[in-house]
Amino acid sequence: MINNYNTIYKKQHYGLVGNHSAVKVCHWTKSQLLGKGACYKNTFYGINSHQCIQMTPALNQCTENCDFCWRFQGFDSMHINNEDDPEFILEESIKQHLKLISGFKGNPAVKKELFEEARHPRHMAISLTGEPTVYTRLGELIEAAARKGISTFVVTNGTLPMVLERLDPLPTQLYVTVAGPTKEIFNDVLHPATGNAWENFNRTLELLPSLDTRKVIRHTLVKDVNMPYYDEYEEMDRKADPDFIESKGYVHVGQSSERLQYENMPSHEMVMDFSNELAKRLGYTPYADRFESRVAMIAKDPDNARIDFDLEIQKTLNKVDKK
């Protein structure tokens, strides 16, 4: 990879892939391997954290520079030059991930069965950093993952609705971050790189009901900055009509600590109050929460929250094969 940030990424234990992609082992992957807790996506959706790859196909490319983002923001472009082949990205991401977790094999606290399962990933969170919809072959990457029996969660900031309109196939689950309840807050907190980002973001919300996949709205909540604004969030959520809504409190770690204050972290109780109020307004059902992650989830249909991964992967392949 040719960029100016290799030293920083390597120091932060990123596994660099090709020209513009990377993986990083999540805290919860390590935690479940060590026989401790899995991440809240396990509680909400049934994800096995020890079988999950956290990656990005757009390491240095993003359309926003959010104040609450705790990752290193080495964003120097909104476009990717010399795009790598999606099959290459997938295979090398798996190799890098397995290399990064290889040290757990000799750890006496790690059960042999868990490590063996971890060597066969079943899920890929395309959410590490950057904006994944900048990668023009994202659909091919999702398809390649499905053909290897790997489900996909894509997290987008929603500023490129024209990409989501033609994304084929869609991921197993599509997240849209909704953290700017007004145009002023959107611009002040998310720092979009284009002048029409707010309009594009709202186009994404209008587009979501037509997308045939599982959809999640993610509210990243910053105390005294973008919450509660119940009326504004309710209007946005009604427009998007997602299957699930996650409300997650900002955590004062990483690079975000240079832009926000410790006092900007909402308590878990505040996150729960926000989530429950949205549930009441929207007619959703409070489903689950995780105190240590300051996150709560409400569902339009709680019976469909946890994923049958084999079924969802097969649905993706069926759609591809019918093209």
Full pLDDT tens readout for the chain, 323 residues: 446 788 889 899 999 999 999 999 999 999 999 999 999 999 999 999 999 999 999 999 999 999 999 898 888 889 999 999 999 999 999 999 999 999 999 999 999 999 999 999 999 999 999 999 999 999 999 999 999 999 999 999 999 999 999 999 999 999 999 999 999 999 999 999 999 999 999 999 999 999 999 999 999 999 999 999 999 999 999 999 999 999 999 999 999 999 999 999 999 999 999 999 999 999 999 999 999 999 999 999 999 999 999 999 999 999 898 87
Interaxial angle between packed helices 183-190 and 197-207, expressed in degrees from 0 to 180 and rounded to the nearest 10: 110
Structure token digits, residue 181 = 């309840």
Would you say residue 1 lies in a domain? no
DSSP helix/strand/coil, 239 = helix
Residue 35: alpha-carbon gap to chain centroid: 24
Nearest one of 201, 187, 193, 276 to 236, comparing CA atoms: 201
Range of the domain at 273: 6-316
Count of the separate structural domains present in the chain: 1
- In CATH, what number is assigned to the domain containing residue 125? 3.20.20.70
Asked whether the beta carbons of 85 and 101 are under 8 A apart, the reply is: no
Asked whether the beta carbons of 49 and 28 are under 8 A apart, the reply is: yes
Would you say residue 282 lies in a domain? yes
Would you say residue 321 lies in a domain? no
pTM metric for this prediction? 0.96
Backbone angles phi, psi at 15, to 5 degrees: -100, 110
> What is the reported pLDDT for 305?
97
Which amino acid is it at 132?
P
Would you say residue 68 lies in a domain? yes
Would you say residue 303 lies in a domain? yes
DSSP helix/strand/coil, 252 = coil
Asked whether the beta carbons of 111 and 135 are under 8 A apart, the reply is: no
> What is the reported pLDDT for 3?
60
Would you say residue 76 lies in a domain? yes
> What is the reported pLDDT for 2?
46
B/e letters for 255-285, b = 16+ CB within 10 Å, e = fewer, are ebeeebeeebbbebebbbbbbbebbeebebe
Would you say residue 127 lies in a domain? yes
Structure token digits, residue 189 = 């907190």
Would you say residue 304 lies in a domain? yes
Residue 203: alpha-carbon gap to chain centroid: 20
Q: Which residue has the tokens 């587009």?
A: 207
Structure token digits, residue 226 = 């973008």
